[in-house]
Structure 1
């Protein structure tokens, strides 16, 4: 059924309104990062009268922001890499091989979606202490990897099952092993699903405040969400520094989304149109 010109115009107007509502807080954050504290309090919703780039210079001196940024990049990047590798191999196994324990293994991964990992914070803390991983970025990487694999397996298994088996049969006739079929034939075909997994888990690891607060006490090992808490004073807060830090911390997330946005949207809408 075709949509009339008036109906399409209304759809575009609503879409643009939603876009403005979504982008306004981001634009306000960026604009506030170029203001002074006095200007933020006097005109919080206005554009800056002049661009104060010294706020960003002051940020690097006020807190070890370079350490916070590197820690967040390292933790998020390694977590996403491990989640993608392990979940892709597990999903290939679950989707293409049938053994008596396949159903139990699938249910095991689904349990990871049903049970919040934060319920096990005390056993996790004891485990990390016994492993000597307290005040180590690897404690965060292992936790994010363990908590991200169930959803990734759930997404990737569904995509693997949509691929025709004839592709694998043709590859095996040409002499490909199981790993070559997985790596060279099937994996390139599920790039939309991989992009979805990367973006979801990167955002989760990048924005998480709870686990870094529990497992990291050393100042130079803190990630951005915990490290930025230093800027909140007991009696006063330098809001210009805070907005500058938030602006810089949003750049990697925006970059990752822009690089994988096309694949991400294809992954979300896969199967919607036949």
Structure 2
């Protein structure tokens, strides 16, 4: 490849990357701009800079959406879901990776089917069952629903990590006197920890942003999640879009900060999950 071709390739690469960065950052920048505007200016021209900075949009959004309570509810629910999914999925994925299962095609079809099946199919039976058991407004019960919904994806991803680990490591640990549980806990989990972190980030994002299940099973005011309280800010006839944009920024900010801090681990985890065994 000549120098001219190399420069052309490099230029095209930077142009494409610049376009992708613009597409990625534009919604966030637009959200920040409109969060600082009066509601009238948001409606008139959402792309313009604010004529005056309205910091009170954030304070009103925090108070009206009761974010002090609802953000904590979302954090607790997300943490419970992450723990349950990572625990059950890692154990299941380890067994599926190490044991020869004759009906593996059936298991694969089941996992893929449950991954793609819409939750609406199960919403009404679940609701009536939860109502009979008195589990409405119970965050732990909702965390178990999230676990059932997100576990198939997590199992499929983590299985690829366990397949990439040489069996000789397990055999050496067993020869040294370790039990199967010790092999899993002390040998396998540290090796596949990037995959578990990747699963935790993805499941955390899903749980934090989930709306349908949360609004169905968590109905009392003291159990609402941040996303549901954000939805309730919008009125039937009029909405304060400056306040709504400020509320959206408050909800998005923790996820953005967490992803920025852990992006290298996340990318490494996704790359490692692409290894086929």
Q: CA deviation at 1:97?
A: 2.7
Matches within 5 A, 1:196-215: 196-215=198-217
Partner of residue 236 from structure 2, selected from 218, 234, 237:
234
The whole-number CA distance in structure 2 between the counterparts of 1:227 and 1:213 is 9
Matches within 5 A, 1:103-142: 108-142=110-144
Equivalent residue for 2:66? 64
Of residues 239-248 and 166-175 in structure 1, the stretch that sits farther from structure 2 once superposed is: 166-175
RMSD: 2.3
In the TM superposition, what is the alpha-carbon distance from 1:171 to its structure 2 partner?
A: 1.9
* 1:9 partnered with 2:7: no
Q: Specify which of 66, 89, 93 is matched with residue 95 of structure 2.
A: 93
1:198, 1:44 → 2: CA distance?
Answer: 35
- On the 8 A contact 1:94/1:106 being kept in 2, the answer is no
Identify the residue that residue 167 of structure 1 maps to in structure 2. 169
Segments of 5+ residues of structure 2 without an aligned counterpart are: none
- More deviation in 171-180 or 25-34? 171-180
70-79 or 99-108: bigger deviation:
99-108
Mapped to 2, the partners of 1:122 and 1:131 lie a distance apart of: 14
Provide the residue aligned with 1:150 in structure 2: 152
The CA distance in 2 between the partners of 1:131 and 1:272, in whole Å, is: 43
Worse overlay, 143-152 or 48-57: 48-57
- TM-score, scaled relative to structure 1: 0.90
Q: Does 1:79 align with 2:81?
A: yes
Partner of 1:194: 196
Report deviation, 1:263. Answer: 2.2
Select the residue among 261, 265, 269 that pairs with 2:271: 269
| Farther off after superposition, 76-85 or 50-59 | 50-59
Relative to structure 2, which stretch is displaced further, 77-86 or 93-102? 93-102
Kindly tell me the number of residue pairs found equivalent between the two proteins. Answer: 273
Partner Cα distance (1:268, 1:159) in 2: 10
The C-alpha deviation readout for 1:189-226, integer Å capped at 9, x for no partner, is 22332232122211211111111222222122111222
- Pairing 1:21–2:23 present: yes
Contact 1:195–1:260 (CA under 8 A) maintained in structure 2: no
- TM-score (normalizing by structure 2): 0.89
User: Is contact 2:94–2:162 with CA below 8 Å preserved after alignment?
Assistant: yes
Gap regions ≥5 residues in structure 1 = none
For 2:224, the equivalent position in structure 1 comes to: 222
- Distance apart, 1:269 and its partner CA: 2.5
Which moves more between the two structures, 57-66 or 156-165? 57-66
Per the TM alignment, residue 50 of structure 1 is displaced from its structure 2 partner at its CA by 3.8
Distance across 2 between alignment mates of 1:133 and 1:170 = 46
Closer/same/farther in 2, CA of residues 114 and 13 from structure 1, 3 Å limit: closer
Q: 2:32·2:245 contact (CA, 8 Å) conserved in 1?
A: yes
Deviation at 1:103, TM superposition (A): 6.5
Of 84-93 and 254-263, more deviation after overlay is shown by 254-263
